[in-house]
Amino acid sequence: MKSPMSEKLLIIDGYDKPGRENLGRAGCTLAGTLYERMIRRFLPDAKITILHPADPDEALPTGTALANFDAALWTGSSLTIYHQTPDVTRQVDLARALYAAGTPSFGSCWALQIAALAAGGTCRLNPKGREFGIARKIALTDAGRAHPLYAGKAPVFDGFTSHFDDVESLPAGSIHLAGNNITPVQAAIVTHEGTPFWAVQYHPEYDLREVAALTRFRKDGLVDTGYFADSAAADSFITELETLHADPLRKDIAWRLGIDHDVIDPDTRTLEVKNWIANILRQN
């Protein structure tokens, strides 16, 4: 078992440079920063490197190999997983290299799709459409209820989300852990070349403020696709999310939006990360 003070972690920010710039202009926190903030809740002294593999000129620090890291953590991305563009294929190749190096991974959204595709699975544009804001009624499978990733988690829960694409088919030998009506594969364990990748489609690293910022960022598209009747309705939603973030005791807003402790409470929201640390990172 590793010493609690010895973790050396690679955070892989899946956004390309234009995507990161767009997030910044919208007031969103960069994905790599969100992941670092989340992981430091549990591992305040971890040595963290943030990598942006979508950028052609970015590489690991000189003298550093993937095998030098205790684990990798993958963020979301605004890229499209099934597009064979260099900013995507570099990340798929990186996932394959991490599998080969024996470096375990955890991640959300884009991460689940990367985990599957790099190991032989398939991804698609979700035929049921976009899932945004809160993924409702994520239900654990029989395997999920028995798996340590979900130790202490309710069998049905909500999670923050923002995605168009999803996993169509998991690689052979994967464990399907959770799904809901919109996205059948909400969580899975993909093991390839003997290396585990625990991943979820939703975003434990988000909070209400981030979802508000994302809604502001994607407001026009959300109105166009019917998530909001008009811009004013989206603005009202943003204001209520920000108000509830500032004051989680506003039961009137939580009730009106159908938001419960599974997304408001950070300990509940990030339980999967805590379980991954205990069962993979500390045992690796």
Output the pLDDT for position 62: 87
pLDDT score, position 61:
87
Q: Which among 160, 115, 150, 125 is positioned nearest to 257, based on CA atoms?
A: 160
pLDDT of residue 170: 98
Percent of the chain with pLDDT over 90: 94
Res. 110: pLDDT tops 80: yes
pLDDT digits (tens, 9 = 90+) for 4-51: 557 999 999 999 999 999 999 989 999 999 999 999 999 999 999 999
CA distance 20 to 9: 21
What is the Cα–Cα distance from 31 to 254, expressed in whole angstroms?
26
Length of the chain: 284
Q: What is the pTM of this model?
A: 0.95
| Per-residue confidence (pLDDT) for residue 284, from 0 to 100 | 65
Stated as kind and residue range, the H or E segment containing 123 is strand 122-125
Query: Which residues, 6+ apart, have CB-to-CB distance to 121 below 8 Å?
Result: 115, 167, 168, 169, 170, 171, 174, 190
Residue 65 CA: distances (Å) to CA of 43, 98, 152, 253: 22, 10, 35, 48
Q: Distance between CA 241 and CA 43 in Å, rounded?
A: 28
Model confidence at 3: pLDDT above 60: no
pLDDT (tens digit per residue) in 79-108: 999 999 999 999 999 999 999 999 999 999
pLDDT of residue 250: 96
Q: Which domains does the chain have, with CATH numbers?
A: 8-206+265-281 (3.40.50.880), 208-261 (no CATH)
Across-strand partners of 271? none
pLDDT at 2 over 60: no
Question: Region 247-270: what's the mean pLDDT?
Answer: 96
